[in-house]
Structure 1
Amino acid sequence: GSAVDGGLKPHSDIDLLVTVTVRLDETTRRALINDLLETSASPGESEILRAVEVTIVVHDDIIPWRYPAKRELQFGEWQRN
């Protein structure tokens, strides 16, 4: 991302990879999405908020590594509609 393109720019998003030990239940999944919708904004839409991309994986799904990796949850501004 931004690191190989000269650093964080005004319209850069922030990418987060999160590992969890257990699968997310529906209540937790909805709460996370609702919080992310409030703390992320499309690039250029806010002077305070940045676009956030979050990928959550279950630890046992990626250790040992298997391809393709399974995602427990993925959030990004492209999904906001």
Structure 2
Amino acid sequence: MPRWTDAARAKQAALITRWKPWQAATGPRTDAGKASSSRNADKGGDAGRAQRLADAEAELAAALAKVHKLSKALRRRSSAL
């Protein structure tokens, strides 16, 4: 693979700065495209399972916090009666 010379690198930098391809990038537009691109880094296997487990743990922690808050409110309410 050919290496970039300093002159070629400077020329390419000038072209890209003038061209600005990042301004034309839109990313996924449809829900299906967004769902598909959200899985770009997923290679499956243990990493995917670990992420799903972490998501489930976070969801469980949020649910437990909600239950704790409700039970605390009920205890206060019943002690006031």
Please give the TM-score of this superposition, normalised by the length of structure 2: 0.26
Higher helix share: 2
Report the structure number with the largest CA radius of gyration.
Answer: 2
